[in-house]
Amino acid sequence: MQLTTIRQRLRALGALPLHEQRVLRDWVQGRPYDQGRRRPNDFLPLGVRTALPALDAELQGMARLISSHPGQDGSARLLVGLADGQAVESVLLPRDGLCVSSQVGCAVGCQFCMTGREGLIRQVSSGEIIAQVVLARTQRVVKKVVFMGMGEPAHNLDNVLEAIDLLGTEGNIGHKNLVFSTVGDARVFERLAQGVVKPALALSLHTTKPALREQLLPRAPRITPEQLVEAGETYARLTGYPVQYQWTLLEGVNDGDDEIDGIVRLLKGKYAVLNMIPYNTIPDLAFKRPSWESARAIAASLHRRGVLTKLRDSAGQDVDGGCGQLRARAAAPAHRTIALKRAGPA
């Protein structure tokens, strides 16, 4: 369900813009309708009041908790079921953050990502994105939402921006606490700058070498690391928020001295922070996670050379819950059943 569809239904029931605002605000903030100065019976049109129970049931049915996997770091990976039987992942992060998914699967095909292995299955609607936030708020407080879960937000731009607009206007979330993460797409830099709600930006860099980036992100737009940083810097200066550059640290791939020199060349003096995340190991993939000591040494070297670097661990390391892994494990029994049936007698 799209947010525009919800608005249209409310208008057909006699709602004015302020009534739409009230219903959507109560939903995204997880508040009962009878809170606040204006009680529903005195404020909402009769048609809206009559339809609210059925509408609420639909809204609640867009996202349900299949399973929760708490981590020792205070995070919790959530496997979220959608109304059509598909599933996505959300992550409750320490310090009141939430990571949401914008697609079921992903078309970019990052070589080190489990989600990228299955390709794109479908887009997640703006309503389903908000539903992930609403579901998470039944578990704990959410004051920050990052679009870094399953999917490439740039490939689902209309739905993501519609959700960001509601979160930033009615969701009680500061604009800088809405983080749009992308591999880089010209449409992103144009559209984000035009919005009333301008989120912070996170750009997947991963390497300073154009050829290696094409190998690691085979279906990402052909934009060089230099072009990516240039576009990011323009947006950072426009919004006043530093760009977060994401770097998945892969042992023997992008952890050499040449890459460190390249990072300094690209990011020193920029309004930016580098988030360096040691690879979250995925079975059957050749990439390896470097030691924490090695990762710490790289981050310290970059600090000394003038690049603000934050060494982070991927939430869910201790529950084998890297992006896409929960969904893949949940789907595995069904895949095995299909395989067994095919192996049976003809």
Task: List active site positions.
Answer: 89, 323
Between the alpha carbon of residue 163 and those of residues 57, 99, 131, 231, 343, the distances in Å are: 20, 14, 10, 23, 45
Is the CB of residue 90 less than 8 Å from the CB of residue 99? yes
Between the alpha carbon of residue 159 and those of residues 21, 123, 130, 152, 346, the distances in Å are: 18, 9, 10, 12, 46
In whole angstroms, what separates CA 88 from the centre of its chain? 11
First-to-last C-alpha distance (Å) of the chain: 42
Angle between helices 186-194 and 225-239 (to 10 degrees): 0
Q: Where are the alpha helices (DSSP H) in 73-181?
A: 114-117, 126-137, 157-169
CB-CB neighbours of 212 under 10 Å: 15
Q: Is 346 helix (H, G, I), strand (E, B) or coil?
A: coil
